[in-house]
A and B are shown apart, each in its own frame.
Chain A
Amino acid sequence: MSIKKSPWVSFFNAGGCNGCTLEVLACTNPRYDVSRFGIEIKASAKHADVLVVTGIVNKQNKSRLLNIYEQLAEPKRVVAIGACALTGGIYKDSHAHAGPVDKIIPVTVFVPGCPPRPESIIKGILEALK
């Protein structure tokens, strides 16, 4: 219940073209304004309730993603955003690809798109809180 009213979000940009990250940041602008749902973007993963993962997870940053996931205090949720995070997207056949996010950490909600629109990202985060 309490997490629904004040979800603090930390985001991890694993790679990709950065398009998804820009869309996540666009959620905070006056047009989409996620703060009206109590959502706040927190720089420190320790403060966050929801971890938003964008981009392709590669062999080098896989351990960092695991480390950051461990830092989130329970109860925690993970939202994977964009084709890269879900399947590998256009980087699927890359030698560095370490697999989709849900093979590495448990994912609560998947938001498909390349990149997804801010509306669907906000919907995804709110869906993850249910």
Chain B
Amino acid sequence: MIEFVLAFAFIIISIFFAGIFRKFIARMHNRVGPPIIQPFYDLIKLFSKKTTKYKNPIFHAVPYASIITSIVIIILISSAFVGTDSLFDFDYNFLVLGYLFILVDTFYIFGAVASRSPFAIQSSMRELLLMLGYELSFMMVLSIFFAKTGIVSLADFDVEFAFVQAPVASILLVLIGFVIVRITPFDVVNAETELSAGFFAEYYGKDLALLEIAEFIKDLAFGLMAGLLLFGKVFALPAALGFVFFYALMQATSPRYCTFRTAKIFLIIAILAFIDLFLLV
């Protein structure tokens, strides 16, 4: 039960983190920037906008599907903090977590194709190309952490500073984060300046609000997961805030790589993850 309360708290925190991310970027640009509660204002506004029905039902189903998946992700992550008496503590649940992260992006692709926007379709093509590289390496990197520590469930993961044991996997996880959280130099999927709003180009009003919340939750979930794996349970939330700062720094200071270069880099990441996993066996 307690994991639901914790998950709800994390959802609220995720929206604050989005505000903190914008504030960090603004300060790095030497701007004042929007207030930290700006994402709440944005969401309230989006919910109050009039939305008209589009004829494709998949288009309207995608925001609900993606937010439900994100909520399941955050509940799974919360179960790690609750411990072994959690409802969601089952063996190999970290693999389910990995798949759920990828499922959210798969829903976006459905929505993008259903919207028929050329920008959104271009975005989904890029996502499909990158998925080949990062999906597999993401699963391998997660497995490396659990194989090195000999633990099979998130709730049992009580190792602190596991990055010392798995340095290569830690670096790869942070790099994979660039694609999952969509940060330059690897944010080709929703490159704002080229692709309008990428997947979300045709969404507005309530649908866009749901998708934005799903993104916020997914970003915090990744930060918490990486914090948990790299630094341990106690430091997971501060580490997630650290990731917000690091990713904001990268977003504010680095240019965007082209799609093929990103794909090549992720192929190398996949090979490195495979070698790291192979050395364990």
A74 contacts across to B, CB distance below 8 A: 49-50
- A47 close to B29 (CB less than 8 A): no
Q: Output the nearest chain B residue to A36 by Cβ-Cβ distance.
A: B32
- B31 close to A2 (CB less than 8 A): no
Q: Output the nearest chain A residue to B29 by Cβ-Cβ distance.
A: A30
- B208 close to A47 (CB less than 8 A): yes
Considering the chains assembled together, what is the distance between the CA atoms of A71 and B173 in angstroms? 40
- B33 close to A42 (CB less than 8 A): no
B215 close to chain A: CB less than 8 A? no
A35 close to chain B: CB less than 8 A? yes
B201-233 vs A, Cβ < 8 Å mask (1 yes, 0 no):
111110010000000000000000000000000
- A33 close to B32 (CB less than 8 A): yes
Given the contacts A33-B32, A33-B33, A74-B49, A38 and B41 also touching, CB distance less than 8 Å = yes
B11-46 vs A, Cβ < 8 Å mask (1 yes, 0 no):
000000000001000100111111100100110110
Considering the chains assembled together, what is the distance between the CA atoms of A33 and B204 in angstroms? 25
- A73 close to B41 (CB less than 8 A): no
Interface size on A, residues (CB 8 A): 20
A6 close to chain B: CB less than 8 A? yes
Considering the chains assembled together, what is the distance between the CA atoms of A3 and B34 in angstroms? 15
Considering the chains assembled together, what is the distance between the CA atoms of A47 and B202 in angstroms? 8
Considering the chains assembled together, what is the distance between the CA atoms of A33 and B26 in angstroms? 9
- B45 close to A49 (CB less than 8 A): yes
Which bucket holds chain B's interface residue count?
Answer: 20 to 34
Partner of B197, one of A5, A37, A47, A49: A47
A5-39 vs B, Cβ < 8 Å mask (1 yes, 0 no):
11010000000000000000000001001011110
A46 close to chain B: CB less than 8 A? yes
A73 contacts across to B, CB distance below 8 A: 49-51, 204-205
- A30 close to B196 (CB less than 8 A): no
B179-198 vs A, Cβ < 8 Å mask (1 yes, 0 no):
00000000000001100110
Q: Output the nearest chain A residue to B49 by Cβ-Cβ distance.
A: A73
- A35 close to B34 (CB less than 8 A): yes
A90 close to chain B: CB less than 8 A? no
- A42 close to B30 (CB less than 8 A): no
Considering the chains assembled together, what is the distance between the CA atoms of A35 and B32 in angstroms? 8
A44 close to chain B: CB less than 8 A? yes
Measured CB to CB, the residues of A under 8 A from B are 2-3, 5-6, 8, 30, 33, 35-38, 42-44, 46-47, 49, 73-75
14 new A-B contacts at CB < 8 Å, known A44-B196, A49-B49:
A3-B48, A6-B41, A30-B29, A35-B26, A35-B31, A35-B32, A36-B33, A37-B34, A38-B38, A46-B203, A47-B200, A73-B50, A73-B205, A74-B50
Measured CB to CB, the residues of B under 8 A from A are 22, 26, 29-35, 38, 41-42, 44-45, 48-51, 119, 192-193, 196-197, 200-205, 208
